[in-house]
Amino acid sequence: MTSNQRFNTTAIHAGQCPDEKSGAVSQSIIPAVAYCFDDAESAVDVVSGKKEGRYYGRYGNPTTRTLENKVAFLEGAEDALGVSSGMAAISIALLAFLRSGDHVVVTKDVYGGTHKFLSNIATRYGIEYDFVDCTNYSNIEGAIKENTRAVYIETPSNPTLTLIDIAAVATITGRHGLKLIVDNTFMTPYLQRPIELGADIVVHSATKYLNGHGDVIAGIICGSKADIEYMRKDMMGDLGQNLNAWESFLILRGIKTLGIRMEQHCKNAQKVSEYLEQHPMVERVFYPGLPSHPQHSLAKKQMKNMGGIVAFEVKGDVQTGKDFISALKVAMISFSLGDPETLVQHPASMTHSSIPESQLHEFGLSKGLIRLSVGLEDAEDIIEDINQALLLASAIPIKN
Protein backbone atom coordinates (compact mmCIF):
# COMPACT_ATOMS: atom_id res chain seq x y z
CA MET A 1 0.00 0.00 0.00
CA THR A 2 1.48 3.38 -0.98
CA SER A 3 0.80 6.70 0.75
CA ASN A 4 -0.10 8.51 -2.47
CA GLN A 5 -3.12 6.34 -3.26
CA ARG A 6 -6.55 7.95 -2.92
CA PHE A 7 -8.95 7.27 -0.06
CA ASN A 8 -11.24 4.60 -1.53
CA THR A 9 -8.29 2.58 -2.82
CA THR A 10 -6.61 2.87 0.55
CA ALA A 11 -9.80 1.95 2.44
CA ILE A 12 -10.02 -1.29 0.45
CA HIS A 13 -6.39 -2.34 0.35
CA ALA A 14 -4.49 -0.83 3.30
CA GLY A 15 -3.29 -3.39 5.80
CA GLN A 16 -4.82 -6.37 4.03
CA CYS A 17 -3.37 -9.13 1.90
CA PRO A 18 -4.63 -12.52 0.67
CA ASP A 19 -4.48 -15.39 3.12
CA GLU A 20 -1.05 -17.03 2.78
CA LYS A 21 -2.29 -20.60 2.76
CA SER A 22 -5.62 -20.44 0.92
CA GLY A 23 -5.16 -17.30 -1.15
CA ALA A 24 -8.55 -16.05 0.06
CA VAL A 25 -9.13 -12.40 -0.77
CA SER A 26 -11.53 -11.87 2.13
CA GLN A 27 -9.93 -11.12 5.50
CA SER A 28 -9.38 -14.19 7.70
CA ILE A 29 -11.26 -14.36 11.00
CA ILE A 30 -8.94 -15.67 13.72
CA PRO A 31 -10.84 -16.01 17.02
CA ALA A 32 -8.03 -17.82 18.89
CA VAL A 33 -7.50 -17.01 22.56
CA ALA A 34 -4.00 -18.46 22.88
CA TYR A 35 -1.03 -18.67 20.51
CA CYS A 36 1.88 -21.14 20.50
CA PHE A 37 5.59 -20.50 20.04
CA ASP A 38 8.51 -22.47 18.64
CA ASP A 39 10.53 -21.99 21.82
CA ALA A 40 10.48 -20.24 25.19
CA GLU A 41 12.69 -17.38 24.00
CA SER A 42 10.22 -16.48 21.23
CA ALA A 43 7.38 -16.36 23.75
CA VAL A 44 9.38 -14.07 26.02
CA ASP A 45 10.22 -11.74 23.12
CA VAL A 46 6.56 -11.34 22.16
CA VAL A 47 5.30 -10.81 25.71
CA SER A 48 8.03 -8.25 26.41
CA GLY A 49 7.28 -6.35 23.20
CA LYS A 50 10.71 -7.03 21.72
CA LYS A 51 9.07 -8.90 18.87
CA GLU A 52 5.71 -8.25 17.12
CA GLY A 53 3.11 -10.93 17.73
CA ARG A 54 0.08 -12.10 19.68
CA TYR A 55 0.20 -14.18 22.81
CA TYR A 56 -3.23 -13.90 24.51
CA GLY A 57 -6.60 -12.81 23.13
CA ARG A 58 -7.21 -10.14 25.76
CA TYR A 59 -4.38 -8.12 24.23
CA GLY A 60 -5.56 -8.46 20.63
CA ASN A 61 -5.76 -10.90 17.75
CA PRO A 62 -4.56 -10.97 14.11
CA THR A 63 -7.92 -9.93 12.62
CA THR A 64 -8.17 -6.95 14.96
CA ARG A 65 -4.54 -6.10 14.21
CA THR A 66 -5.39 -5.83 10.52
CA LEU A 67 -8.21 -3.44 11.39
CA GLU A 68 -5.91 -1.37 13.61
CA ASN A 69 -3.32 -1.05 10.86
CA LYS A 70 -5.96 0.01 8.35
CA VAL A 71 -7.55 2.69 10.54
CA ALA A 72 -4.13 4.01 11.61
CA PHE A 73 -3.20 4.37 7.95
CA LEU A 74 -6.46 6.15 7.12
CA GLU A 75 -6.11 8.54 10.08
CA GLY A 76 -2.43 9.24 9.40
CA ALA A 77 -1.47 7.84 12.83
CA GLU A 78 1.52 5.71 13.79
CA ASP A 79 -0.68 3.06 15.36
CA ALA A 80 -4.23 2.23 16.48
CA LEU A 81 -6.00 0.12 19.07
CA GLY A 82 -9.30 -1.70 18.57
CA VAL A 83 -11.44 -1.95 21.71
CA SER A 84 -14.84 -3.24 22.74
CA SER A 85 -16.91 -0.04 22.34
CA GLY A 86 -16.78 3.67 21.66
CA MET A 87 -16.96 4.33 25.39
CA ALA A 88 -14.05 1.94 25.92
CA ALA A 89 -12.07 4.04 23.44
CA ILE A 90 -13.02 7.28 25.22
CA SER A 91 -12.37 5.98 28.74
CA ILE A 92 -9.02 4.37 27.83
CA ALA A 93 -7.86 7.50 26.00
CA LEU A 94 -8.66 9.66 29.02
CA LEU A 95 -7.38 7.29 31.71
CA ALA A 96 -4.12 6.77 29.83
CA PHE A 97 -3.15 10.38 30.60
CA LEU A 98 -5.09 11.12 33.80
CA ARG A 99 -4.35 9.99 37.33
CA SER A 100 -5.82 10.93 40.68
CA GLY A 101 -5.40 14.67 41.15
CA ASP A 102 -5.09 15.40 37.42
CA HIS A 103 -7.39 17.71 35.45
CA VAL A 104 -8.81 17.65 31.93
CA VAL A 105 -10.45 20.45 29.94
CA VAL A 106 -13.50 19.18 28.02
CA THR A 107 -15.64 20.88 25.42
CA LYS A 108 -19.11 21.56 26.82
CA ASP A 109 -20.62 20.13 23.62
CA VAL A 110 -19.88 16.52 24.39
CA TYR A 111 -21.53 13.14 23.95
CA GLY A 112 -23.71 12.14 26.90
CA GLY A 113 -21.70 8.97 27.53
CA THR A 114 -18.51 11.03 27.88
CA HIS A 115 -20.30 13.39 30.27
CA LYS A 116 -21.48 10.44 32.36
CA PHE A 117 -18.04 8.82 32.45
CA LEU A 118 -16.47 12.03 33.76
CA SER A 119 -19.21 12.89 36.25
CA ASN A 120 -19.94 9.36 37.45
CA ILE A 121 -16.66 7.43 37.26
CA ALA A 122 -13.66 9.76 36.85
CA THR A 123 -14.63 11.75 39.93
CA ARG A 124 -14.55 8.56 42.05
CA TYR A 125 -10.83 8.35 41.36
CA GLY A 126 -9.98 11.98 42.02
CA ILE A 127 -9.87 13.14 38.40
CA GLU A 128 -10.98 16.73 37.91
CA TYR A 129 -12.60 18.20 34.81
CA ASP A 130 -14.11 21.43 33.54
CA PHE A 131 -16.61 21.77 30.70
CA VAL A 132 -15.84 24.93 28.72
CA ASP A 133 -16.92 26.55 25.47
CA CYS A 134 -13.97 25.48 23.32
CA THR A 135 -15.06 27.62 20.37
CA ASN A 136 -13.64 30.51 22.42
CA TYR A 137 -9.95 29.68 22.67
CA SER A 138 -9.33 32.07 25.55
CA ASN A 139 -11.70 29.85 27.56
CA ILE A 140 -9.35 26.91 27.04
CA GLU A 141 -6.36 28.96 28.14
CA GLY A 142 -8.28 30.18 31.17
CA ALA A 143 -9.31 26.66 32.18
CA ILE A 144 -5.79 25.19 32.09
CA LYS A 145 -4.36 24.55 35.57
CA GLU A 146 -1.07 23.26 36.91
CA ASN A 147 -2.56 19.78 37.12
CA THR A 148 -4.16 19.83 33.63
CA ARG A 149 -2.92 16.97 31.48
CA ALA A 150 -5.22 16.92 28.45
CA VAL A 151 -7.88 18.71 26.40
CA TYR A 152 -10.77 16.64 25.04
CA ILE A 153 -12.98 17.85 22.18
CA GLU A 154 -15.59 16.63 19.71
CA THR A 155 -15.94 18.38 16.37
CA PRO A 156 -18.63 18.44 15.13
CA SER A 157 -20.16 17.92 18.55
CA ASN A 158 -22.95 15.55 19.50
CA PRO A 159 -25.73 16.58 19.03
CA THR A 160 -25.60 20.33 18.24
CA LEU A 161 -22.84 20.04 15.61
CA THR A 162 -20.69 22.80 17.06
CA LEU A 163 -17.30 22.97 15.35
CA ILE A 164 -13.94 23.59 17.00
CA ASP A 165 -10.77 24.62 15.16
CA ILE A 166 -8.54 21.61 15.81
CA ALA A 167 -5.35 23.32 14.64
CA ALA A 168 -6.02 26.32 16.91
CA VAL A 169 -6.58 24.08 19.94
CA ALA A 170 -3.49 22.03 19.05
CA THR A 171 -1.42 25.22 19.18
CA ILE A 172 -2.65 25.82 22.74
CA THR A 173 -2.09 22.23 23.91
CA GLY A 174 1.34 22.16 22.29
CA ARG A 175 2.34 25.34 24.10
CA HIS A 176 1.29 23.87 27.45
CA GLY A 177 2.57 20.34 26.85
CA LEU A 178 -0.91 18.78 26.99
CA LYS A 179 -2.42 15.89 25.07
CA LEU A 180 -5.18 16.81 22.62
CA ILE A 181 -7.81 14.08 22.27
CA VAL A 182 -10.38 14.42 19.45
CA ASP A 183 -13.54 12.37 18.99
CA ASN A 184 -13.77 11.95 15.20
CA THR A 185 -16.80 9.61 15.16
CA PHE A 186 -19.13 11.95 13.24
CA MET A 187 -16.59 12.73 10.52
CA THR A 188 -14.50 9.56 10.07
CA PRO A 189 -11.05 9.84 8.46
CA TYR A 190 -12.77 10.26 5.10
CA LEU A 191 -14.06 13.72 6.04
CA GLN A 192 -11.59 14.91 8.69
CA ARG A 193 -8.08 13.93 9.84
CA PRO A 194 -7.38 15.48 13.26
CA ILE A 195 -3.82 14.16 13.60
CA GLU A 196 -2.80 16.11 10.50
CA LEU A 197 -4.20 19.19 12.27
CA GLY A 198 -2.16 18.60 15.43
CA ALA A 199 -4.22 16.20 17.56
CA ASP A 200 -2.33 13.60 19.61
CA ILE A 201 -5.12 11.06 19.98
CA VAL A 202 -8.20 10.33 17.84
CA VAL A 203 -11.07 8.21 19.14
CA HIS A 204 -13.94 6.63 17.22
CA SER A 205 -17.07 4.79 18.08
CA ALA A 206 -16.49 2.27 15.30
CA THR A 207 -20.07 1.17 15.97
CA LYS A 208 -21.13 4.10 13.84
CA TYR A 209 -19.85 5.08 10.38
CA LEU A 210 -16.68 2.98 10.30
CA ASN A 211 -18.76 -0.18 10.47
CA GLY A 212 -21.80 1.48 8.93
CA HIS A 213 -24.30 -1.36 9.19
CA GLY A 214 -25.59 -1.30 12.76
CA ASP A 215 -24.36 -4.77 13.72
CA VAL A 216 -21.18 -4.09 15.71
CA ILE A 217 -20.22 -2.39 18.97
CA ALA A 218 -16.57 -1.31 18.87
CA GLY A 219 -14.14 1.54 19.39
CA ILE A 220 -10.83 2.63 17.85
CA ILE A 221 -8.05 4.78 19.33
CA CYS A 222 -5.35 6.25 17.07
CA GLY A 223 -2.09 7.86 18.14
CA SER A 224 1.65 7.43 18.49
CA LYS A 225 3.17 3.96 18.79
CA ALA A 226 4.24 4.68 22.35
CA ASP A 227 0.82 5.89 23.49
CA ILE A 228 -1.05 3.05 21.78
CA GLU A 229 1.33 0.41 23.13
CA TYR A 230 0.81 1.72 26.66
CA MET A 231 -2.98 1.66 26.21
CA ARG A 232 -2.83 -1.88 24.82
CA LYS A 233 -0.66 -3.43 27.51
CA ASP A 234 -1.46 -1.36 30.58
CA MET A 235 -5.06 -0.27 29.97
CA MET A 236 -7.09 -2.37 27.52
CA GLY A 237 -5.62 -5.74 28.47
CA ASP A 238 -5.88 -5.16 32.20
CA LEU A 239 -9.43 -3.79 31.95
CA GLY A 240 -10.55 -6.53 29.57
CA GLN A 241 -11.83 -4.16 26.87
CA ASN A 242 -10.48 -6.05 23.85
CA LEU A 243 -12.24 -6.25 20.49
CA ASN A 244 -13.06 -9.69 19.15
CA ALA A 245 -12.17 -11.06 15.72
CA TRP A 246 -15.69 -11.31 14.30
CA GLU A 247 -16.54 -7.69 15.00
CA SER A 248 -13.16 -6.61 13.62
CA PHE A 249 -13.97 -8.49 10.42
CA LEU A 250 -17.33 -6.73 10.10
CA ILE A 251 -15.72 -3.31 10.53
CA LEU A 252 -13.03 -4.17 7.97
CA ARG A 253 -15.79 -5.08 5.55
CA GLY A 254 -17.66 -1.86 6.31
CA ILE A 255 -14.61 0.36 5.82
CA LYS A 256 -14.28 -0.83 2.22
CA THR A 257 -17.36 1.25 1.36
CA LEU A 258 -16.75 4.07 3.87
CA GLY A 259 -15.98 6.78 1.32
CA ILE A 260 -18.92 5.88 -0.90
CA ARG A 261 -21.30 5.73 2.04
CA MET A 262 -20.14 9.02 3.54
CA GLU A 263 -20.65 10.83 0.23
CA GLN A 264 -24.29 9.69 0.16
CA HIS A 265 -24.86 10.45 3.85
CA CYS A 266 -23.54 13.98 3.26
CA LYS A 267 -25.55 14.49 0.09
CA ASN A 268 -28.78 13.42 1.77
CA ALA A 269 -28.09 15.41 4.95
CA GLN A 270 -27.52 18.59 2.94
CA LYS A 271 -30.89 18.19 1.17
CA VAL A 272 -32.70 17.39 4.42
CA SER A 273 -31.16 20.34 6.27
CA GLU A 274 -32.07 22.77 3.48
CA TYR A 275 -35.65 21.46 3.53
CA LEU A 276 -35.92 21.75 7.31
CA GLU A 277 -34.52 25.29 7.37
CA GLN A 278 -37.40 26.60 5.28
CA HIS A 279 -40.11 24.61 7.07
CA PRO A 280 -42.51 26.76 9.14
CA MET A 281 -42.70 24.12 11.91
CA VAL A 282 -38.93 24.18 12.47
CA GLU A 283 -37.44 26.74 14.84
CA ARG A 284 -33.76 26.19 14.06
CA VAL A 285 -31.51 23.81 12.12
CA PHE A 286 -27.96 22.77 13.07
CA TYR A 287 -25.89 21.55 10.11
CA PRO A 288 -22.38 22.69 9.11
CA GLY A 289 -23.32 22.66 5.43
CA LEU A 290 -25.79 25.52 5.88
CA PRO A 291 -24.46 29.09 5.50
CA SER A 292 -26.48 29.89 8.65
CA HIS A 293 -24.24 27.60 10.74
CA PRO A 294 -21.97 29.80 12.91
CA GLN A 295 -18.85 27.81 11.94
CA HIS A 296 -19.74 27.26 8.28
CA SER A 297 -16.44 28.80 7.11
CA LEU A 298 -14.43 26.61 9.47
CA ALA A 299 -16.33 23.55 8.24
CA LYS A 300 -15.29 24.26 4.66
CA LYS A 301 -11.66 24.63 5.75
CA GLN A 302 -11.39 21.72 8.20
CA MET A 303 -13.68 19.11 6.69
CA LYS A 304 -13.94 17.49 3.27
CA ASN A 305 -17.75 17.45 3.51
CA MET A 306 -20.38 18.18 6.15
CA GLY A 307 -21.39 14.80 7.56
CA GLY A 308 -24.61 12.85 7.89
CA ILE A 309 -26.03 14.26 11.14
CA VAL A 310 -28.67 17.01 11.23
CA ALA A 311 -30.10 18.48 14.44
CA PHE A 312 -33.12 20.75 14.62
CA GLU A 313 -35.68 22.22 17.00
CA VAL A 314 -39.37 21.71 16.32
CA LYS A 315 -41.72 24.54 17.27
CA GLY A 316 -43.95 23.69 20.20
CA ASP A 317 -43.31 21.89 23.46
CA VAL A 318 -41.60 18.63 24.40
CA GLN A 319 -44.72 16.67 23.50
CA THR A 320 -44.67 18.14 19.99
CA GLY A 321 -41.17 16.80 19.52
CA LYS A 322 -42.16 13.37 20.82
CA ASP A 323 -45.24 13.34 18.61
CA PHE A 324 -43.03 14.20 15.64
CA ILE A 325 -40.55 11.34 16.06
CA SER A 326 -43.38 8.92 16.85
CA ALA A 327 -45.12 9.84 13.59
CA LEU A 328 -42.10 9.05 11.40
CA LYS A 329 -42.47 5.99 9.18
CA VAL A 330 -39.20 5.75 7.26
CA ALA A 331 -36.94 7.07 10.00
CA MET A 332 -36.57 4.82 13.04
CA ILE A 333 -36.37 5.92 16.67
CA SER A 334 -32.95 4.72 17.84
CA PHE A 335 -30.05 5.68 20.09
CA SER A 336 -27.40 5.03 17.44
CA LEU A 337 -26.26 6.72 14.24
CA GLY A 338 -24.28 6.06 11.07
CA ASP A 339 -26.44 3.17 9.83
CA PRO A 340 -27.89 2.81 6.31
CA GLU A 341 -31.30 3.54 7.87
CA THR A 342 -32.29 7.07 8.91
CA LEU A 343 -32.35 7.12 12.71
CA VAL A 344 -33.94 9.76 14.93
CA GLN A 345 -33.77 10.49 18.65
CA HIS A 346 -34.53 13.07 21.31
CA PRO A 347 -31.16 13.87 23.02
CA ALA A 348 -32.52 15.43 26.22
CA SER A 349 -34.38 12.24 27.15
CA MET A 350 -32.20 9.67 25.36
CA THR A 351 -28.46 9.98 24.59
CA HIS A 352 -27.90 12.94 26.94
CA SER A 353 -30.28 11.91 29.71
CA SER A 354 -27.36 11.86 32.20
CA ILE A 355 -27.31 15.68 32.05
CA PRO A 356 -29.77 17.14 34.58
CA GLU A 357 -32.68 18.98 32.94
CA SER A 358 -31.71 22.18 34.76
CA GLN A 359 -28.25 22.05 33.11
CA LEU A 360 -29.30 21.30 29.53
CA HIS A 361 -29.00 24.95 28.49
CA GLU A 362 -25.38 25.01 29.68
CA PHE A 363 -24.59 22.37 27.07
CA GLY A 364 -26.54 24.08 24.30
CA LEU A 365 -29.36 21.56 24.45
CA SER A 366 -33.04 22.37 24.34
CA LYS A 367 -35.89 20.07 25.37
CA GLY A 368 -37.21 20.14 21.82
CA LEU A 369 -33.96 19.30 20.03
CA ILE A 370 -34.14 16.40 17.57
CA ARG A 371 -31.08 14.58 16.21
CA LEU A 372 -31.43 12.96 12.81
CA SER A 373 -28.85 10.51 11.51
CA VAL A 374 -29.64 10.81 7.82
CA GLY A 375 -29.40 7.43 6.14
CA LEU A 376 -28.80 6.11 2.64
CA GLU A 377 -32.43 6.03 1.52
CA ASP A 378 -33.52 8.33 -1.32
CA ALA A 379 -33.45 11.86 0.06
CA GLU A 380 -36.92 12.59 -1.33
CA ASP A 381 -38.43 9.75 0.71
CA ILE A 382 -36.73 10.98 3.89
CA ILE A 383 -38.05 14.49 3.29
CA GLU A 384 -41.58 13.29 2.58
CA ASP A 385 -41.50 11.30 5.80
CA ILE A 386 -40.35 14.32 7.80
CA ASN A 387 -43.06 16.48 6.24
CA GLN A 388 -45.93 14.11 7.07
CA ALA A 389 -44.64 13.69 10.64
CA LEU A 390 -44.45 17.47 11.16
CA LEU A 391 -47.99 17.83 9.83
CA LEU A 392 -49.29 15.21 12.25
CA ALA A 393 -47.38 16.67 15.18
CA SER A 394 -48.68 20.20 14.64
CA ALA A 395 -52.08 21.79 14.95
CA ILE A 396 -50.91 24.52 12.54
CA PRO A 397 -52.11 23.93 8.97
CA ILE A 398 -49.11 23.73 6.66
CA LYS A 399 -49.18 23.83 2.88
CA ASN A 400 -47.08 21.25 1.02
111 is catalytic: yes
Return the closest-CA partner of residue 91 out of 75, 114, 109: 114
102 is catalytic: no
**Is beta strand 332-333 parallel, antiparallel or unpaired with respect to 179-183?**
unpaired
379-393 helix and 258-277 helix, angle to the nearest 10 degrees: 40
| Cis status, amide bond into 156, omega within 30 of 0 | yes
Strand order in the sheet with 128-132: 79-83, 219-223, 201-205, 179-183, 148-154, 103-107, 128-132
Catalytic residue among 102, 165, 183, 227: 183
Asked whether 92 and 116 are in contact (CB, 8 A), the reply is: no
261 is catalytic: no
Catalytic residue among 54, 58, 116, 256: 58
d(CA 343, CA 205): 16
Which DSSP string corresponds to 264-291?
HHHHHHHHHHHHHHT-TTEEEEE-TTST
d(CA 23, CA 16): 12
Which DSSP string corresponds to 96-150?
TT--TT-EEEEESS--HHHHHIIIIIGGGGT-EEEEE-TTSHHHHHHH--TTEEE
Return the closest-CA partner of residue 150 out of 168, 126, 127, 184: 127
Asked whether 394 and 281 are in contact (CB, 8 A), the reply is: yes
Strands (E), the chain: 79-83, 103-107, 128-132, 148-154, 179-183, 201-205, 219-223, 282-286, 309-314, 332-333, 343-345, 369-373
58 is catalytic: yes
Catalytic residue among 108, 193, 208, 261: 208
62-75 helix and 245-255 helix, angle to the nearest 10 degrees: 30
CA distances (Å), origin 212, targets 30, 130, 160, 307, 308: 22, 33, 21, 13, 12
Catalytic residue among 79, 108, 111, 304: 111
- Contacts with 319 (C-beta within 8 Å, 6 or more apart), sequence order: none
Strand order in the sheet with 309-314: 282-286, 309-314, 369-373, 343-345, 332-333
As annotated, the active-site residues are 58, 111, 183, 208
